[in-house]
């Protein structure tokens, strides 16, 4: 073996001391984990700091929320009652507010006025013939009284007088019909409302029954939706409905009609809700309706306290020793940030409200705040 010098031996001794000092901090924590100051095993530390709260009962409002659409209360189709006449002028456009009886469209009246004059002349002619027939009958009756006229001649003159009066009455009816047709040359609003569509143009020939305009009667709109048959008995006419449009705006309506029948395919019934005329809702819009139908006591917990796993809902109940127990619960209806608990825990249970998603059954927690 080689002999080491004094300096070499000193250098090796220094390296051994440094190695021991480097290992010492690693070994000491291991010992601390095994023993506490009294020499016994160290107690386990809390795995997570959480907030807690108690499950409490409070007034719970149950709502029925359904989807639907805004519709016109009554969509009136305006069309002419006489045809074959040129449209002379259109007096309104889409969006115009009109009153009952207001002129909307005018047809050319030249042919109608000519027909009216012809029927008037025919009436006057038949009135003259009727006068002559009546006078002839009066003379015949005077002669018959003196036995200067046969019964057959009297009967003939009586029949001619009756025929003349009938022709006069028919001519008068024709004249009245011509007057009505002339009035129909001006198409008027059947009621107050708003013009929603226009399909008529100046110069076209009007067709009987052909659509010219559509009128939103009285400017009224309503919301319609389908409700389950099981919920229909809980609703009544006049009940308040909150209508929420796609922009988030809310409008208060009242149930006007509940459908007297149920669709056998869907088992749903229709609900018709009146909406105030000053609302921003328009026919064709999608909207959601929310109807409150019961109010009762219910056990509520924060929605954030629920942990879902495999299709089931759980909460973590805090035990007196600060350990948590995972508890299966049955939930009901959501209301705001709270949810109804139907089964699983009782009122007063101390549950984890924040941080439950990071826990497992049996964990020890440190509660920093209780609601």
Tell the residue number behind the tokens 């001519």, with chain if given.
171
Asked if pLDDT for residue 333 goes beyond 80, the answer is no
Its pTM surpasses 0.75: no
Q: Kindly state the tokens that stand for 199.
A: 């399909």
Asked whether 258 and 293 are in contact (CB, 8 A), the reply is no
Spatial distance between the Cα atoms of 250 and 289, rounded to a whole number of angstroms? 9
User: Taking 70 as the threshold, does the pLDDT of residue 161 lie above it?
Assistant: yes
Average model confidence (pLDDT) across the chain: 84
Give the pLDDT band of residue 38 (cuts 50, 70, 90): very low
CA–CA separation, 337 vs 339, rounded Å? 7
| 46-80 residue pLDDT tens | 568 888 888 888 777 777 889 999 999 999 999 99
Residues paired with residue 348 on neighbouring β-strands, in sequence order:
none
E strand or H helix at 214, and its extent?
Answer: strand 213-217
Share of the chain above pLDDT 90, in %: 54
Distance of CA 361 to the CA centre of its chain: 46
Structural domains present in the chain: 48-60+296-370 (2.40.420.20), 65-74+220-295 (2.40.30.170), 76-214 (2.40.50.100)
How confident is the model at residue 369, as a pLDDT? 67
54 or 6: which leads in pLDDT: 54
Residue with more model confidence, 196 or 62: 196
């Amino acid at each position: 073996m080689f002999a080491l010098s004094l300096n070499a031996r000193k250098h090796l001794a220094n390296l051994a001391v440094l190695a021991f000092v480097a290992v010492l901090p690693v070994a000491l924590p291991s010992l601390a984990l095994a023993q506490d100051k009294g020499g016994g095993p160290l107690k386990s530390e809390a795995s997570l700091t959480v907030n807690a709260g108690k499950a409490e009962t409070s007034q719970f409002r149950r709502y029925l929320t359904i989807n639907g659409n805004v519709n016109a209360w009554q969509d009136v189709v305006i069309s002419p009652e006489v045809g074959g006449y040129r449209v002379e002028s259109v007096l309104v456009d889409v969006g115009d507010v009109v009153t009952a009886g207001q002129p909307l469209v005018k047809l050319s009246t030249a042919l109608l006025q000519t027909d009216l004059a012809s029927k008037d002349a025919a009436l006057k002619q038949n009135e003259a013939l009727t006068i002559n027939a009546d006078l002839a009958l009066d003379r015949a009756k005077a002669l018959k009284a003196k036995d200067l006229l046969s019964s057959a001649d009297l009967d003939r003159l009586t029949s001619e007088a009756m025929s003349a009066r009938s022709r006069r009455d028919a001519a008068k009816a024709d004249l009245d019909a011509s007057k009505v047709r002339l009035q129909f040359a001006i198409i008027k609003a059947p009621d107050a409302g708003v013009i929603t569509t226009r399909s008529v143009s100046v110069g076209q020939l009007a067709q009987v029954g052909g659509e010219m305009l559509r009128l939103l009667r009285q400017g009224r709109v309503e919301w319609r939706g389908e409700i389950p048959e099981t919920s229909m008995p809980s609703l009544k006419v006049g009940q308040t409905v909150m209508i929420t449009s796609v922009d988030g705006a809310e409008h208060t309506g009242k149930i006007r009609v509940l459908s007297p029948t149920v669709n056998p395919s869907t088992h749903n019934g229709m609900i018709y809700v009146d909406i105030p005329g000053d609302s921003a809702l328009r026919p064709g819009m999608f909207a959601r309706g929310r109807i409150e139908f019961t109010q009762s006591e219910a056990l509520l917990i924060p929605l954030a306290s629920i942990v879902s796993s495999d299709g089931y809902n759980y909460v973590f109940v805090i035990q007196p020793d600060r350990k948590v127990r995972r508890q299966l619960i049955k939930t009901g209806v959501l209301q705001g940030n709270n949810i109804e608990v139907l089964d699983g825990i009782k009122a007063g249970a101390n549950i984890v409200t924040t941080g439950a998603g990071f826990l497992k059954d049996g964990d020890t927690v440190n509660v920093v705040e209780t609601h």
